[in-house]
Amino acid sequence: MPASVPVRTAPSEIYALKTACAQCNLRELCLPVGLTESETLRLDALIDTRRKIKRGQHLYRAGTPFSTIYAIKTGFFKTDALLEDGRYQVTGFQMPGELLGLDGIGSEIHTCNSVALEDSEVCALPFTQLEQLTAEIPTLQRHLHKVMSREIVRDHGVMLLLGTMRAEERLAAFLLNLSQRFLVRGYSSTEFHLRMTREEIGSYLGLKLETVSRTFSHFQDLGLINVQHKHIAIANVQRLRAMLNKQVP
């Protein structure tokens, strides 16, 4: 992963700052197109607090006051919420370059838990200060709105997935989504390691553990994927996509 960018950077080092930001996992938030050099420095000064979260630890819990948005620098997280029957429902999986904490903006209280699935590091952005900065930098404000809009679209996509798709389609959509997200980060889109358990995948997709395990085995029998514990190799992307169109039995 790229080295941390110094909080204070001399004007003569602006180019180096931009180069580092462009390669950072936070580039979508920190370096939107059109941001000037001085605006980049102001944003960089805001992102000066980093937290390391051990595997299994909470970044924040449901019911706690909201004050900060977190950008994942390294690692992997899940968010979950407590249902009325006492079960926890996984609501999402987040990877480097994505934001956590947006659930608390409306009510100023976090509505879900955020748990690290592996040793991770996040950059903390105090929301009040970020809000003030976006008011002064329209380009940054538009970019933040786009990020929040993507989260809303993703939530709607999950609702559609749970409401209309069979088990095979749900798992195919899940694997293809992970594949695309790894690809845009410069990683392999066909081979990756699942940080979450089968049970957590089932909770997210609205499937029982047994169904998830059976569907993984079915995909392997069809030659769509190769599975070794948590390591996934997509053997036939086109046929996996065709699964969503119900073209594969």
* Segment 100-158, tens digit of pLDDT: 999 998 899 999 999 999 999 998 889 998 888 888 888 888 888 887 787 777 766 67
DSSP codes, the chain: -PPPPPSS--GGGHHHHHHHHHHSTTHHHHS-TT--HHHHHHHHHH--EEEEE-TT-EEE-TTSBP-EEEEEEES-EEEEEE-TTS-EEEEEEE-TT-EE-GGGTTTSB--SEEEESSSEEEEEEEHHHHHHHHHH-HHHHHHHHHHHHHHHHHHHHHHHHHHH--HHHHHHHHHHHHHHHHHHTTS-SSEEE--S-HHHHHHHHT--HHHHHHHHHHHHHTTSEEEETTEEEES-HHHHHHHHTT---
**pLDDT band at residue 26 under the 50/70/90 scheme:** low
Q: Give residue 161's pLDDT.
A: 67
**pLDDT band at residue 9 under the 50/70/90 scheme:** very low
Q: Is the pLDDT of residue 19 over 60?
A: no
Q: Is the pLDDT of residue 40 over 80?
A: no
* Segment 213-228, tens digit of pLDDT: 999 999 999 999 999 9
* Segment 78-89, tens digit of pLDDT: 999 988 888 889
Name the residue among 10, 27, 154 with its Cα closest to residue 94: 154
* Segment 228-248, tens digit of pLDDT: 989 999 999 999 999 877 654
CB atoms within 10 A of CB 142: 12
State the span(s) of the chain assigned CATH 1.10.10.10: 165-244
**pLDDT band at residue 29 under the 50/70/90 scheme:** very low
pLDDT above 70 covers what percent of the chain? 82
Query: Per-residue b/e over 8-22, b at no fewer than 16 CB within 10 Å?
Result: ebeeeeeeebbebbe
DSSP codes, 14-37: HHHHHHHHHHSTTHHHHS-TT--H
Using DSSP bridges, classify how beta strands 88-94 and 231-234 pair: parallel, antiparallel or unpaired.
unpaired
State the span(s) of the chain assigned CATH 2.60.120.10: 11-159
Helix (H) or strand (E) holding 139: helix 138-164
* Segment 98-116, tens digit of pLDDT: 889 999 988 999 999 999 9
pLDDT above 90 covers what percent of the chain? 46
Angle, vertex CA 182, rays to CA 42 and CA 121, nearest 5: 45
The reply to whether CATH 1.10.10.10 applies to domain 165-244 is yes
**Lowest pLDDT segment from 10-14, 176-180, 221-225, 231-235:** 10-14
Q: Which CATH superfamily is domain 11-159 in?
A: Jelly Rolls (2.60.120.10)
Q: Is the pLDDT of residue 14 over 60?
A: no
Q: Tell me the C-alpha distance between 231 and 147, whole Å.
A: 29
Q: Give residue 56's pLDDT.
A: 97
- C-beta separation of 40 from 17 below 8 A: yes
Q: Give residue 232's pLDDT.
A: 96
C-alpha 138, offset from chain centre: 25
52 by DSSP, 3-state: which?
A: strand
CB atoms within 10 A of CB 107: 10
Q: Tell me the C-alpha distance between 20 and 3, whole Å.
A: 8
